[in-house]
Structures are given as structure tokens and as C-alpha cells.
Amino acid sequence: MTYHPSALPGGRVVDDRRQGIRVSRSRGVAGLAPGVAIVLALGACAQTPTGATTSSAAPAPVSASPTLPSTGSAPAPTEAPVVTATPSPIADAVLLAAGDIAACSKDGDSATAAILKQHPEARVQTLGDNAYDKGTPRQFRCFDDTWGVAFDRLQPALGGHDYMTAGGAGYFGYFAKRLAPFAPTANEPTMGWYAYDLGAWRIIVLNSICDRIGGCDAASPEVAWLRTELAQTPARCSLAVIHNPRFSSGRKENEPRVQPLWEELQGAGVEMVLSGDNHTYERLAPMTPSGQSDASGIRQFVVGTGGRSHYSFSEGAIHPNTEVRDDQTFGVLKLTLSDGSYAWKFLPEAGKTFTDEGQQDCH
């Protein structure tokens, strides 16, 4: 089932970065000693034109403080112009994202891995539930057979199925190299959160499997980390990854446990949240953490289309702020992250035609 509105709110939707110079003025001469004055007078005599009449009488007394010839007013000091350096523009960056990806008995992940191959310049962000059904090391080998083509540019996130093996051993073992630069929070099973820069953007990867990390409430370790992260590394444009969507339609509608995370993100002006868990694609209008439509709120993308399976929107209610949705197409969300804006486009598996694209300025 694919839904396209005839007009979408929020951006153009194609469906729509001296020095003064200190000038030291010379002190003016207040007076000359008599000897200097005589030298000046003799100098004047030496300049008597040829043929001029001279007197043998004693020279008239010379003032001890002669008035020097005027040379005009001294020019006012000038300052060098203030030069403000213009920072070089930050190049666009591309992020490909999807969740709910690999199962050894399925081939949908092969279809989405083919999309990753077509964009070798892009960073790849998983949205959780990477290997089904229990995230075992063996099942992560099936993930490696497909999405492993992009391993050196992968940024993983945790989902519930990744924890179905004790301590998330499959996830933390397979992604150890990718998580190591973000230690200690990224590679500890009781944490699993981190952040990184991509172009002009800050990407914040959170863990919404709350019962494995001491909760997601306002007093939790994760929210404390998030609050510090947002304060210490502010960015004009940023997005967050949270496997469980705060808002969605169909089988898995809304996840209130992650609202405290959204409240911190909203307070910092984060642009959007990328989620999986619901095996559908859905774009929702910007909202407050309580679900009220608000142009200054957070836009929710649900991209559970990595290849595992499809859910139907008929299995639950449709969120009133839904804009575009599809439950029949595997694919990957492509985000072009610019300095001050972003554009999105859903890239479908080969043979499918559903897409969704648009553009939006950052807050």
C-alpha cells in the first residue's frame, strides 16, 4: 500500500564563516635651543639670492624660539580595513539508512545491499535489528554476506533482535572495529550510544532497548549522556537514530518510552529522527515529543525496509501526521546533508517504483 499526498507541508517536497594598525604620532617640537636658532639664521643668509644687497651692520637679535615654517597639518592616522575571512563551504555528505535488515532465509537484504554498492561515496547508517532472528554470530555472517559490502563505511545502531543473544555478542563482536573509535559508550552492551560528524551535520546514535541500559527516562544514564553531548557539541544541523520510532503507523504505532530522548532532542533543535522496527517506510510531519504538529518540531522517518520482511499498515492505526507511507517495497533512505539544509529520497529495490523525495532547511 503506497500513499502519496497531493501536496505536502514543510519545505519543498518534490512529491517535492584585523587588525587595526596602531599609528604612533611623533611628538611636535615645542622650541629650539639658541644654538639651533643661530644655525637656522645662518642657513637663511646662505640662501640670499645673488645680487642682493647685504648689510654690514650686526644682525638683528634672533628670537630664542623661532617659528618654524609650516608644513601643513599632519594627516590623520588611518586604520587598515577590517578583513573578515569567509569560511569555505562544507561539502555535502550522503547518508544511506535502513533497519530491519538481514535474515539467513531471506534475500531482501541482497536487494538493498545492491543499492549500497551504487553509492560508494555514502556513509551507511543501520537503524537496528541488523541480523535476524536473534543476532547470533552466525546470523551476522548472513548480514556480512550482503551489507558487509559497505562494512568500512557502516555506522551501526542496536535493535531488540540484536540483544536476543546474551550481551548482544553478535552485534558487538561483528561491529567491534566500527565501534572502537567511539568507545567507551558505543561498545558496551549496557550503553551502546555514540555520536559522529558527517559533513556539516552531527549524527547521534541512541539505544532505545531501554530495559538493557538502565532505562530511557529523564534520570537515565543515556539521557544524561545525551544532554551533555547536545550541550558540548552543538551543531546547526543534526539528526538522531533511535531504533524504536516515537511515532509510526500500523503494527507498531508509537513508543512512549523514548519520549525523554525526544524531549532532549527537541530542546536542542535536532531536525529529524531515523527509526526502524516497523517494517515499513513512513515520513511524518515535524512534531513535538507529545505528537503535536509543529514546524519547529522533529521530523520522523521510519525506514524498516532493509530486507527482513514487510508489515501492513492495515495492522494498526494511521498516525494523523503521516505524510507518505509504503508497506510493499524494500529500500534505503538517501539523505543529502548540506550546510543548512537536507534533502531526502527513498531508493527502492530494483523492479519497484515507489519513491519519496523532498527538501527542507534546518531550523
Can you give the pLDDT at residue 252?
87
- 275 vs 85, residue with greater confidence: 275
Strand, helix or coil for residue 13? coil
> Beta partners for 303?
281
Residue 39 CB partners (closer than 8 Å, separation 6+)? none
Q: Take residue 269 and report the three cell numbers written for it.
A: 533543535
Show the cell assigned to 74: 599632519
User: Residue 296 — φ and ψ, nearest 5°?
Assistant: -95, 10
What's the pLDDT score for residue 44?
42
pLDDT digits (tens, 9 = 90+) for 95-136: 999 999 999 999 999 999 999 999 999 999 999 999 999 999
pLDDT at position 13 over 50:
no
Q: Residue 226: pLDDT above 90?
A: yes
Which residues, in sequence order, are CB contacts of 336 under 8 Å at separation 6+? 92, 93, 94, 342, 343, 344, 345
The residue with greater pLDDT, 298 or 31, is 298
C-alpha cell at 8: 505536502
Angle at 170 between CA 168 and CA 173, to 5 degrees: 100
The vertex-280 CA angle with 284 and 263, nearest 5°, equals: 40
Task: Give dist(CA 192, CA 160) in Å, integer.
Answer: 12
pLDDT, residue 88, reads 78
Q: Which region among 65-69, 200-204, 263-267 has the lowest average model confidence (pLDDT)?
A: 65-69
Closest C-alpha among 134, 128, 138, 132 to residue 102: 132
Q: Tell me the CA distances in angstroms from 147 to 155, 238, 257, 293, 306, one per residue in order.
A: 12, 25, 30, 36, 10
Per-residue pLDDT tens over the stretch 174-183: 999 999 999 9
Beta strands in the chain (DSSP E): 2-3, 93-98, 102-103, 123-126, 131-132, 154-155, 194-198, 201-205, 237-241, 272-275, 281-287, 298-303, 322-326, 331-338, 341-348, 357-361
- What is the predicted pLDDT for the residue at 22? 33
Tell me the whole-structure pTM to 2 decimals: 0.78
> Which positions ≥6 away from 296 have C-beta within 8 Å?
269, 286, 363
Average of per-residue pLDDT values in the chain: 85
Cα 190 to Cα 129, 208, 212, distances in angstroms:
17, 12, 6
Q: What pLDDT was estimated at residue 74?
A: 56
User: Residue for cell digits 551535520?
Assistant: 201
Task: Report the 10 Å Cβ neighbour count for 234.
Answer: 11
> What is the sign, positive or negative, of the torsion defined by CA atoms of 305, 308, 312, 316?
negative
Contact 215, 108 (CB under 8 A): no
Question: Region 258-279: what's the mean pLDDT?
Answer: 98
Residue 253 pLDDT exceeds 50 = yes
The strand order across the sheet containing 93-98 reads 154-155, 123-126, 93-98, 331-338, 341-348, 357-361
* Spatial CA neighbour of 262 closest among 229, 295, 288, 228: 288
Question: Is residue 35 predicted with pLDDT exceeding 80?
Answer: no
Q: Which residue has cell 637679535? A: 61
Confidence of residue 78 (pLDDT cuts 50, 70, 90): low
Question: Is 338 strand, coil or helix?
Answer: strand
| Per-residue model confidence (pLDDT) at position 9 | 42
Residues 6+ apart with CB under 8 A from 13: 357, 358, 359
